[in-house]
Amino acid sequence: MNSNDSDRYYFRFSLGQRYLHGLVIVTFLGLAATGMTLRFSERGWARWLAETTGGFTAVLSLHKFCAVLLSAGFLYHIGDILFRAIIKKDRGLFFGPNSMTPQPKDAEDLFKMLRWFLWMGPQPEFDHFAYWEKFDYWAVFWGMAIIGATGYMMWFGPFFARFVPGYVLNIALLIHGEEALLAVWFIFIVHFFNSHLRPEKFPLDPVIFTGRVSSKEYQHERPLDYSRLSESGTLEMLRSDPPPRWLKNFSRLIAVIAVGIGFFLLALTWIAFWSG
Amino acid sequence: MAQGSRRMVSGLGRIACAIAALLLCAVAMGHAAAATKAAAATKAATTTKAAATTKAAATTNAAAATKAPNDKDCLSCHNLKANAKLQARPVSVYVNAETFQPSVHSTLGCVSCHSDIHAFPHPDPVKPVSCAGCHPNQTSAYAGSVHAIAKRGTKQRFPACLDCHGNPHGMRAKTDPKSRVYPLNLPRTCGTCHGNAEIAKKYGFPDVYALYMDSIHGFALTSDGLLVAATCASCHGAHDILSRKDPKSRTFPGNVPATCGTCHAGVQVAYLAGAHGKAMIAGRANAPVCTNCHTSHQITQVGVVNWQLKTVATCGNCHKARLQSYRDTFHGQVTELGFVATARCWSCHGSHEVLKASDPKSKVAPANLPATCGKCHQGVTASFVSYEPHPNPHDRRQNPALYYAALFMNLLLLGVFFFFGLHTALWLARSLTVGKRGKDNGVSGEQ
């Protein structure tokens, strides 16, 4: 029935990475729903949401709750990077094919990709992370740092005002809100499309949920990574069982819910933003 | 003097008539010596039994034709509800002796008011009664009022004395709970017209009765029967009601603070000391008075959440830019969401004694800001209060840092969405054209 069932599978994401992505999904949706309620507070739906949630205090508490969870995830990730860099001395972390650091090849790939869009050349061959995946990563990284920092500044306003002038809190709210809008629209449009909804992947790419990728897919999508892993023999260390049926179904469920909520929030905020 | 002597004459006349009626009644019964029967006849004469009184009155006619009638004479006809001749008249002339008895006018005789009646039975028609004879101050005050003016102009039946005070033969003192103008009853009386949508529309005045009844004043009145609660007359006056456009009116904007101050004296003092009050005293046409914020009739208890939320916009009617910039803050967003657990205009500026920030006594004067912000925020420092509660990111001079932060964020959003919008659109277009082939090759990833 499924040609991939007889195929070989490899782990592309560790359990930790998948949990982290799950944590980001849940807290990001929570933060977006409660935050956009405040940002577009003059809208009827915002009032309705706030009242349904149990009032403004409940909305803000949920926002802070999700913020603390996501912050914990963020700090865990920073800790993990430091651990890999300092203790494990993983030099490939900051530069090389497995690094998230933007490199000349990414600019090259982008240029080739644009040419491919316009029927002017073949699709580039990607390595472990494609340039849009790196952008996704850094967008979220920068977003969490900026939105998080400004958020905590406002949460503990009088405390931070001991070190910076009070009007910095004005700037904090402005940046917090604008950056959040950027994040929300980026995730619900660009990330959803690039990673899940584009015709090649529609309706979703389950690899971030199952962690497993088939050898055919791996070979086709990341030929450089695949051949290097094959040659070094590392690939067989990543060999996995096919994704269990329950995990595939679970992935679909999560995707439908996340995309549903995401598009709903996208529509609400989009209309609210452009109708002034 | 003339009135007094006439009263005396009529009093004597009444006594004489009563005696005559008794005697004639007895004669008519045929047996003057039958003492017990005479007593029964006396009873008949003093009660309202139709046959006996009519007969008695008829026999009195000859004797009393030239004298003014007494009350019993009058009631002999006017107290008969079933009198066909009286019923046929366009205006009721029925007088209910039972309701007249406890009325405020009961000590006066009929002819005190119906002073053109000198004969019994009297010639028809009789002149309408003027209240001015006894109530000259009230009637002259009324003559200049909006009710009387409207009446003169349109020849319409606008309220005159009796429309508010009720039937003169059953009229009660205004301190009597049964009076139509007793404080607890007055709104309903005024509401006869001012609570009738049709009448209000026809004559072009607002239909305010329901608004008043829902107000804190109306609530105090109806819920607890508070006689100190403001009723219609407390603000508009009773007889001398003037249009609010009339500078002499109690409800003319410039007079409103004094009118409300009759009860809310402390608030009036605070208001007059504030910027709004000063502007009003200076004669500024757009200076807000009590009613601009609190409304005229639908005055809500200030603790009510809906009123607090609505009133932010009320301030914004004049302070437009300030409202706009307030809405861009966390305070404004929470308020917009419909919650009051945050600062609204008066939390910082005060409600009645609103003062400019340049005034050292102002709550928003720089020296007072830590205390004002500190009402809600713990650990407020001098640095904290440089927070701008009305930020305008488009104003470079107000706050350059905010201006450039906004500019940067706008460019960032614009840049990211321009690039990735294009990227996504192109990718989608390209993928759709090769989608089929890609799947056939088994490289599409998800089946």
| pLDDT digit string, tens, across residues B63-82 | 445 567 788 888 888 887 77
Instruction: Kindly state whether B443 is in contact with chain A, defined as any CB-CB distance less than 8 angstroms.
Output: yes
Shared-domain flag, residues B120 and B155? no
B392: left (phi over 0), alpha (psi -120 to 50) or beta: beta
Does the pLDDT of residue B14 top 70, yes or no?
no
Closest C-alpha to B315, from B285, B347, B361, B280: B347
Q: What is the tens place of the pLDDT at every residue in A61-76?
A: 999 999 999 999 999 9
Q: Structural domain tally of chain A? A: 1
Residue A247's pLDDT is 95
The CB density around residue B170, as the number of other CB atoms within 10 Å, is 19
Are residues A9 and A242 in contact, defined by beta-carbon separation less than 8 angstroms?
yes
Asked whether residue A106 is domain-assigned, the answer is yes
| B333 → closest Cβ in A41, A162, A217 | A41
A239 strand-pairing partners: A10
Asked whether residue A219 is domain-assigned, the answer is yes
Are residues B322 and A38 in contact, defined by beta-carbon separation less than 8 angstroms?
no
All residues of chain B having their beta carbon less than 8 Å from the beta carbon of residue A44 are none
Q: What percent helix, strand, coil does chain B show, rounded to 5?
A: 55, 0, 45
Give the residue from B208, B241, B275 where a domain finishes: B208
Q: What is the tens place of the pLDDT at every residue in B243-261?
A: 999 999 999 999 999 999 9
Instruction: Kindly state whether A274 is in contact with chain B, defined as any CB-CB distance less than 8 angstroms.
Output: no
Task: Report DSSP state, residue A242.
Answer: P
Asked whether residue B254 is domain-assigned, the answer is no
Instruction: Flag residues of chain A having pLDDT under 70.
Output: 1-6
Shared-domain flag, residues B107 and B12? yes
Residue A228's pLDDT is 93
The residue segments making up the domain with residue A259 are: 9-31+99-274
The residue segments making up the domain with residue B204 are: 130-208
Shared-domain flag, residues B118 and B166? no
Model confidence at B285, pLDDT cuts 50, 70, 90, reads: confident
Shared-domain flag, residues B55 and B116? yes
- In the predicted model, what is the mean pLDDT of residues B75-104? 80
Model confidence at B25, pLDDT cuts 50, 70, 90, reads: very low
Are residues B118 and B127 in contact, defined by beta-carbon separation less than 8 angstroms?
no
Asked whether residue B52 is domain-assigned, the answer is yes
Q: Which residue has the higher pLDDT, B5 or B411?
A: B411
Does the pLDDT of residue B57 top 50, yes or no?
no
Instruction: Kindly state whether A51 is in contact with chain B, defined as any CB-CB distance less than 8 angstroms.
Output: yes
Residue A9 has φ and ψ, to the nearest 5°, of -120, 150
Q: Structural domain tally of chain B? A: 3
A positions 137-196 inside 8 Å of B (CB): 154, 157-159, 161-162, 164-171, 173-175, 178-179, 181-182, 185-186, 189-190, 193-194
All residues of chain B having their beta carbon less than 8 Å from the beta carbon of residue A193 are 424, 427-428
Shared-domain flag, residues B8 and B117? yes
Task: Report DSSP state, residue A85.
Answer: I
Interchain proximity A166–B338, CB inside 8 Å: no
Give the residue from B173, B208, B243 where a domain finishes: B208
Shared-domain flag, residues B149 and B91? no
Asked whether residue A39 is domain-assigned, the answer is no
Asked whether residue B299 is domain-assigned, the answer is no
Residue B438's pLDDT is 44
The ipTM assigned to this model is 0.92
Rounded to whole angstroms, how far apart are CA atoms B190 and B37? 53
Q: What is the tens place of the pLDDT at every residue in B361-399?
A: 999 999 999 999 999 999 999 999 999 999 999 999 989
Q: Which residue has the higher pLDDT, B326 or B434?
A: B326
CATH at A197: 1.20.950.20
Gap from B292 CA to chain A (nearest CA, Å): 24
Q: Which residue has the higher pLDDT, B159 or B61?
A: B159
B positions 391-410 inside 8 Å of A (CB): 391, 393, 399, 401-402, 405-406, 409-410
Strand order through the sheet with A9-11: A212-214, A9-11, A239-240
Tokens 């849009």 -> residue: A132
B83: left (phi over 0), alpha (psi -120 to 50) or beta: beta
Does the pLDDT of residue B39 top 50, yes or no?
no
Shared-domain flag, residues B80 and B106? yes
Shared-domain flag, residues B147 and B32? no
Residue B314's pLDDT is 94
Interchain proximity B337–A199, CB inside 8 Å: no
Residue B56's pLDDT is 44
All residues of chain B having their beta carbon less than 8 Å from the beta carbon of residue A221 are 443, 445
Model confidence at B48, pLDDT cuts 50, 70, 90, reads: very low
Asked whether residue B234 is domain-assigned, the answer is no
Task: Report DSSP state, residue A28.
Answer: H
Asked whether residue B315 is domain-assigned, the answer is no
Asked whether residue B260 is domain-assigned, the answer is no
Does the pLDDT of residue B235 top 80, yes or no?
yes
The CB density around residue B49, as the number of other CB atoms within 10 Å, is 13
Q: B420-425 long-range CB contacts below 8 Å, 24 or more apart?
A: B420/A186, B420/A189, B420/A190, B421/A189, B423/A114, B423/A132, B423/A190, B424/A189, B424/A190, B424/A193, B424/A194
Shared-domain flag, residues B118 and B139? no
B329: left (phi over 0), alpha (psi -120 to 50) or beta: beta
Rounded to whole angstroms, how far apart are CA atoms B235 and B230? 7
Are residues A175 and B394 in contact, defined by beta-carbon separation less than 8 angstroms?
no
Interchain proximity B339–A170, CB inside 8 Å: no
- In the predicted model, what is the mean pLDDT of residues B162-174? 89
Interchain proximity B429–A117, CB inside 8 Å: yes
Give the residue from B189, B208, B227 where a domain finishes: B208
Residue B155's pLDDT is 61
Q: Which residue has the higher pLDDT, A188 or B97?
A: A188
Residue B27's pLDDT is 42
Q: Which residue has the higher pLDDT, B198 or B51?
A: B198
Shared-domain flag, residues B73 and B191? no
